Amino acid sequence: MIKKIAILTGGGDCPGLNATLRSVVQSCTVDHNIQVVGIPYGFKGLLENKFVPLTLANTTGILSKGGTILGSSNVDTPFRVPVKRNGQKEYEDRSDEVVENLREARVEALIVVGGDGTQAIAHQMAEKGVHVVGIPKTIDNDLNGTEFTIGFFTAVGTAVDALDKLHTTAESHQRIMVVEVMGRNAGWIALFAGLGGDADAILIPEIPFDLAQVAKGLNDAYHAEKRYSIVVVAEGAKPVGGEQTVSRIIEDSPEPVRLGGVAHQVAMDLEKLTGRTSRAIVLGHLLRGGSPDAFDRILAGRFGAAAVDAVVKGKFDTMASYQNDTVSLVPLETGAGKNRYVSTDSPFLKAAKERGILFGG
Instruction: Supply the pLDDT for residue 74.
Output: 86
Q: 126 and 22 share a domain?
A: yes
With H, G, I as helix, E, B as strand and everything else as coil, classify residue 80. coil
322 falls within a domain: yes
Query: Which residues constitute the domain of residue 279?
Result: 155-289
Interval 323-352 mean pLDDT: 95
Read out DSSP for 161-229? Answer: HHHHHHHHHHHHHT-EEEEEE--SS--HHHHHHHHHTT-SEEE-TTS-B-HHHHHHHHHHHHHTT---E
Q: 172 and 134 share a domain?
A: no
Q: 9 and 145 share a domain?
A: yes
Q: 12 and 140 share a domain?
A: yes
Q: 144 and 217 share a domain?
A: no
Calpha distance 167→176 (Å, rounded): 10
| CB neighbourhood size of 289 (10 A) | 14
Per-residue confidence band for 256, with pLDDT thresholds at 50, 70 and 90: confident
Is residue 330 within 8 Å of residue 303, measured between CB atoms?
no
pLDDT surpassing 90 at residue 349: yes
Q: 43 and 136 share a domain?
A: yes
Q: Which one, of 184, 190, 185, 186, lies nearest residue 155 by Cα?
A: 190
341 falls within a domain: no
Higher-pLDDT residue of 341, 74: 341
Range of weakest confidence among 85-89, 119-123, 126-130, 185-189? 85-89
Instruction: Supply the pLDDT for residue 259.
Output: 87
Interval 10-20 mean pLDDT: 96
Instruction: Supply the pLDDT for residue 297.
Output: 98
Per-residue confidence band for 251, with pLDDT thresholds at 50, 70 and 90: confident
253 falls within a domain: yes
List, for residues 43-65, the tens digit of each pLDDT value: 999 999 999 999 999 999 999 99
Query: In the sheet that 109-114 helps form, which strands lie side by side, from edge to edge?
Result: 52-54, 35-38, 4-9, 109-114, 132-136, 318-323, 326-331
Q: 67 and 110 share a domain?
A: yes
pLDDT surpassing 80 at residue 18: yes
E strand or H helix at 153: helix 152-173
Is residue 321 within 8 Å of residue 330, measured between CB atoms?
yes
How many structural domains are present in the chain?
2
Interval 175-200 mean pLDDT: 97
Q: 282 and 327 share a domain?
A: no
Interval 324-351 mean pLDDT: 95
346 falls within a domain: no
List, for residues 296-331, the tens digit of each pLDDT value: 999 999 999 999 999 999 999 999 999 999 999 999
With H, G, I as helix, E, B as strand and everything else as coil, classify residue 67. coil
Interval 18-45 mean pLDDT: 97
Report the CATH number that the domain containing residue 283 is assigned in CATH. 3.40.50.460
List, for residues 86-114, the tens digit of each pLDDT value: 888 899 999 999 999 999 999 999 999 99
87 falls within a domain: yes
Q: Is 350 exposed, middle or buried (0-12, 13-18, 19+ CB in 10 A)?
A: exposed
List, for residues 128-169, the tens digit of each pLDDT value: 999 999 999 999 999 999 999 999 999 999 999 999 999 999
Last residue of a domain, one of 230, 263, 289: 289
357 falls within a domain: no
Looking at the annotation, which residues are catalytic? 140
Instruction: Supply the pLDDT for residue 307.
Output: 98
Instruction: Supply the pLDDT for residue 258.
Output: 83
Instruction: Supply the pLDDT for residue 89.
Output: 87
Calpha distance 306→321 (Å, rounded): 9
Q: 280 and 227 share a domain?
A: yes
Q: 35 and 146 share a domain?
A: yes
301 falls within a domain: yes
Q: Average pLDDT over the chain, rounded to whole? A: 95
Calpha distance 316→149 (Å, rounded): 20
Last residue of a domain, one of 289, 308, 342: 289
| CB neighbourhood size of 353 (10 A) | 12
Calpha distance 178→105 (Å, rounded): 51
Q: Which one, of 96, 99, 123, lies nearest residue 112 by Cα?
A: 123
Number of separate helices (H) and strands (E) present in the chain: 10, 15
Per-residue confidence band for 195, with pLDDT thresholds at 50, 70 and 90: very high
Determine phi and psi for 269, rounding to 5 degrees.
-70, -40
Determine phi and psi for 149, rounding to 5 degrees.
-120, 155
Report the CATH number that the domain containing residue 16 is assigned in CATH. 3.40.50.450
Q: 117 and 188 share a domain?
A: no
Buried b / exposed e along 160-192 (16+ C-beta atoms within 10 A) = bebbeebeeebeeeebbbbbbbbbbbbbbbbbb
Q: 282 and 316 share a domain?
A: no
pLDDT surpassing 80 at residue 255: no
Calpha distance 296→141 (Å, rounded): 12
Per-residue confidence band for 257, with pLDDT thresholds at 50, 70 and 90: confident
106 falls within a domain: yes
pLDDT surpassing 80 at residue 252: no
Last residue of a domain, one of 289, 322, 348: 289
Instruction: Supply the pLDDT for residue 167.
Output: 97
Is residue 331 within 8 Å of residue 136, measured between CB atoms?
no
